């Protein structure tokens, strides 16, 4: 976004100070860093000192998980999560399993939701952390983190949520949510890539720090801060907040609902995945019976339309979507699926253009496979 780029550029040129330096250039960088921290904090209702800058959503998730686990007492070796988490949750957990931690992977129903009662049923005295995502990146389902977090905190256990997909798209206020740790990523809200933040609620016991270095970020995360990226991230948060406050998300939701309506008007036998009510406003995950999702994606790409099958990270591997598999969908339906993510740039005209190209692609793909 131009506005984001505009605030970043000076920090690659004349505003080159290191925020840890004491000279005036350094102090100026420090001031900008602090302003950005306020902008990020404001988007989620946090206090600035509760924001730790990281290299992105993946690091924030690793930081939360390894940070809690490796600082826990030897009696608390159990962690609870669910099957549809992002790889940046599942993979650090896998590493902990090799260090003799025990992880419970809770199942989801066919809308992709975790049953809070299941969370409650696996909590024990040795549970040290529960990490359940806020929104799913593939199907857009929102988990009931309010109910889940309350249960978890009542049991005296720390609760982390990966809110990378939900922040900026639905209202997220850490004052009203029972969360101790929450991950955000800049590039999912139109900021630069390679920067993010971990919200660490005041009073949370000290975390193990996966990145040690100088005393940056109040000794929580070492390394010279990526000032230009952080400044862009702050601006992106401010813009996201303005949009949330100005009802822009309702517009996005209407556009998404229109996409669905138009698809239904021209393409028979389409199914939709996820949880109708508890769902992100901008994503649409659907299956086109008898068609091949990969072929549809390529056909749309040739028209300049970018859509995904599965997650961006796992697509291209040939492995069926873990999320749709966890939602108990058979392979044939998973292979017919596509995910549309609408953004601020999309217009009514885009909807017509997409549906026209999609109808053609589905017809061709269905003909080929029958
Ligand atoms: C994109 C994403 C991440 C990873 O964030 P990066 O900034 O790309 O490292 C983590 N969790 C979810 C749910 C995501 O969608």
pLDDT in tens, 127-179: 999 999 999 999 999 999 999 999 999 999 999 999 999 999 999 999 999 99
pLDDT in tens, 232-253: 999 999 999 999 999 898 999 9
Q: State both tokens at 366.
A: 């269905």
Q: Is the CB of 56 under 6 A from ligand 1?
A: yes
pLDDT for the residue 363: 97
Is the pLDDT reported for residue 275 higher than 80? Answer: no
Q: Which CATH class is domain 248-369?
A: alpha beta
**The pLDDT value given to residue 316:** 57
Q: Is 286 a catalytic residue?
A: no
Position 311 pLDDT exceeds 80: no
User: What DSSP assignment string belongs to 275-334?
Assistant: -SSSB-SSEEEEEETTS-HHHHHHHHHTTT---BSS-TTTTTS-PPPHHHHHTT--HHHH
The answer on pLDDT for 310 being more than 80 is: no
Task: Assess whether the C-beta atom of 143 lies below 6 angstroms from ligand 1.
Answer: no
Strands 51-54 and 283-288: what pairing?
unpaired
Q: Which residue has the higher pLDDT, 195 or 17?
A: 195
Query: Mean per-residue pLDDT for 18-42?
Result: 93
> Which residues in 321-342 are b (16+ Cβ under 10 Å) and which e?
bbbbbbbebeeebbbbbbbbbb
pLDDT one-digit tens code per residue, 60-80: 999 999 999 999 999 999 999
**Confidence class of residue 200 from pLDDT cuts 50, 70 and 90?**
very high
Mean pLDDT of 296-322: 79
> Which of 115, 119, 121, 125 is CA-nearest to residue 78?
125
The CATH number fitting domain 2-244, selected from 3.40.50.300, 2.120.10.30, 3.40.640.10, 3.30.870.10: 3.40.640.10
Q: Please name which of 332, 296, 275, 343 lies closest in space to residue 135, comparing C-alpha atoms.
A: 275
Does 2-244 match 248-369 in CATH topology? no
pTM metric for this prediction: 0.95
| pLDDT of res. 317 | 61
Q: Domain ranges in the chain?
A: 2-244, 248-369
What pLDDT is attached to residue 141? Answer: 96
Q: How far away, in angstroms, is 189 Cα from ligand 1 center?
A: 11
pLDDT of residue 370: 79
Q: So what's the pLDDT on residue 346?
A: 93
3 state DSSP class of 139? coil
What Å distances lie between residue 236 and 5, 47, 92, 172, 211, CA to CA? 10, 18, 28, 15, 25
Residue 165 Cβ contacting ligand 1 at under 6 Å: yes
Percent over 70 (pLDDT), the chain: 98
Angstrom distances, CA of residue 12 to CA of 22, 226, 232, 359: 19, 10, 12, 46
User: What one-character DSSP code corresponds to residue 193?
Assistant: S
- Work out the mean pLDDT of the chain and round it to a whole number: 94
Cβ of 185 below 6 Å from ligand 1: yes
CA 25 remoteness from chain centre: 35
pLDDT computed for residue 313 by the predictor = 45
Considering only CA atoms, which residue is closest to atom 6 of ligand 1? 57
Q: How many Cα neighbours within 13 Å face the side chain of 187?
A: 9
């Amino acid at each position: 976004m131009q506005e984001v780029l505009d605030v970043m550029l000076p920090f690659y040129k004349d505003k080159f100070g290191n925020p840890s330096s004491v000279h005036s250039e350094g102090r100026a960088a420090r001031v900008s860093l602090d302003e950005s921290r306020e902008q990020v904090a404001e988007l989620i209702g946090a206090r600035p000192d509760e924001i730790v800058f990281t290299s992105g959503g993946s690091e924030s998730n690793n930081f939360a998980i390894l940070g809690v686990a490796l600082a826990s007492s030897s009696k608390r070796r159990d962690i609870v999560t669910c099957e549809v988490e992002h790889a940046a949750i599942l993979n650090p957990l896998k590493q902990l399993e090799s260090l003799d931690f025990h992880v419970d992977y809770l199942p989801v129903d066919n809308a992709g939701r975790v049953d809070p009662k299941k969370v409650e049923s696996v909590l024990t005295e040795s549970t040290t952390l529960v990490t359940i995502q806020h929104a799913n990146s593939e199907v857009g389902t929102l988990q009931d983190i309010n109910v889940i977090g309350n249960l978890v905190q009542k049991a005296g256990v720390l609760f982390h949520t990966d809110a990378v997909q939900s922040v900026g798209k639905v209202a997220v206020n850490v004052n009203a949510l029972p969360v101790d740790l929450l991950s955000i990523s800049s590039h999912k809200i139109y900021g630069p890539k390679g920067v993010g933040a971990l919200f660490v609620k005041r009073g949370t016991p000290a975390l193990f720090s996966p990145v040690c270095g100088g005393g940056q970020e109040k000794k929580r995360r070492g390394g010279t801060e990526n000032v230009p990226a952080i400044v862009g991230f702050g601006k992106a948060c401010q813009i996201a907040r303005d949009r949330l406050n100005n009802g822009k998300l309702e517009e996005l939701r209407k556009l998404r609902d229109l996409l669905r309506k138009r698809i239904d008007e021209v393409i028979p036998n389409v199914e939709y995945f996820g949880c109708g009510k508890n769902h992100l406003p901008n994503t649409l995950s659907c299956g086109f019976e008898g068609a091949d999702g990969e072929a549809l994606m390529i056909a749309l790409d040739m028209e300049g339309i970018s859509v995904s099958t599965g997650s961006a990270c796992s697509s291209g591997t040939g492995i069926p979507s873990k999320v749709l598999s966890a939602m108990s969908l058979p392979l044939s339906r998973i292979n017919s699926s596509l995910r549309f993510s609408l953004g601020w740039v999309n217009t009514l005209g885009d909807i017509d253009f997409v549906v026209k190209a999609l109808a053609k692609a589905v017809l061709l793909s269905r003909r080929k496979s029958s």
